[in-house]
Amino acid sequence: MKRRSKWNLISLSPVIIAFSIGVQSPNPANAAPQKRRPAEAQVASLKESLSGVKDAQGFLLGHNLTPTSYTLKQGQGAFGTYAIGYGFTDFLMIATSPFIWFGYNMANVAVRAGADVDSTLIDRIGVETIYFNTFNMQWMHYSQESIFIRATLTKQVASGYTVHGNFGFQYFMNSSHPFSLRPNPFENNPVTMNVGILHEINIGARTGFLAETAILGLNYKLPYAHLGLSFFWKNSTFAIQLGASASFRGSAEITTQMAGSLGSSAGTPQGALIASEILGDDYVPLNARHLMIHPEVQIQFTF
């Protein structure tokens, strides 16, 4: 008797091209198709959920330190406070951040690539390279040139719950007054490494939150713990994300020293200039503080 195999192609998305192939048991040609097994249906549901959230509802860039692996689809653009970008293909996008340009007097360009992986361990892998270089701005005084390379693995653990594991490597050609993601290593070390997990929890189709746990300065003698939380709302063309993250370590010795010298100016760019004048060669940059707060605020449009 003639038998046949049916192949089911599921979960094809322009942004996340994740697919799984199921092979049904051979059936007689005149027999009715078998119903999908519960385990098979559960896997399909997870894949379809992941695809639907990223396609119909846009995508999330992630946090400052720990990103997602999502990319814009081919021909899609993004415009907002956090990123202006364009998708050259379904797996490659380029972007720049207005927040970094005007909040840190720092030119920047990022290239992110992402692809789906047919594996039981991960669903997607992403790699991103960002170049930073400061320029003169009257009201900002940061001074930095660096390259930030990040690799991210994404896995949907359950419906509405996705985990992004990330490793970051920053190399600084200049870090005389860097942003807060470059804590002072207290040694001649141009590299800052980080490792972290970003928990993406969707509550319904449009709302959810991102919870971040990480270590900043993984290669330092005094690494920083890093925690973050942000809430988001999004639809197919608009997304808003509000929250903050914090990097901290146990010693407050340097903070006490700086506060004694700067008074109410401590923790500001103006305070950095005052500290440089007061302390001279003994100046300890503000990125040596034991606690640093990072805004996790994004208002983004996609088109």
Quote the tokens at residue 221. 């003698």
Query: Does residue 13 belong to any structural domain of this protein?
Result: no
pLDDT-derived band at 59, boundaries 50, 70, 90: confident
pLDDT tens-place string over residues 137-154: 877 789 999 999 999 999
User: CA-to-CA distance for 175 and 144, rounded, in angstroms?
Assistant: 5
- Token pair 């969707």 is found at 202
Query: What's the total number of domains in the chain?
Result: 1
Q: What is the CATH number of the domain that holds 114?
A: 2.40.160
In a domain, 143, yes or no: yes
Alpha helices in the chain (DSSP H): 38-56, 98-103, 253-262, 269-279
CB 93 within 8 A of CB 72: yes
In a domain, 193, yes or no: yes
Report the C-alpha gap between 301 and 149 in whole angstroms: 25
Identify whether 17 is part of a domain: no
The predicted-structure confidence for 209-234, as pLDDT tens digits, reads as follows 999 999 999 999 889 999 999 999 99
Q: Is residue 291 part of a domain?
A: yes
Choice among 7-16, 79-88, 131-140, 252-261 with the minimum mean pLDDT: 7-16
Burial 107-124 (b: 16+ CB within 10 A, else e): ebebebbbbbeeeeebbb
Looking at the domain assignment, is residue 38 inside a domain? no
SS3 19: coil
pLDDT tens-digit profile of 168-195? 999 999 998 999 999 888 888 999 999 9
Arithmetic mean of pLDDT, 257-270 = 42
**Phi and psi torsions of 112, nearest 5°:** -120, 130
State the average pLDDT for the chain: 78
Q: Which domain holds residue 224?
A: 60-302
Whether 36 is covered by a domain: the verdict is: no
**Is residue 253 a part of any domain in this protein?**
yes
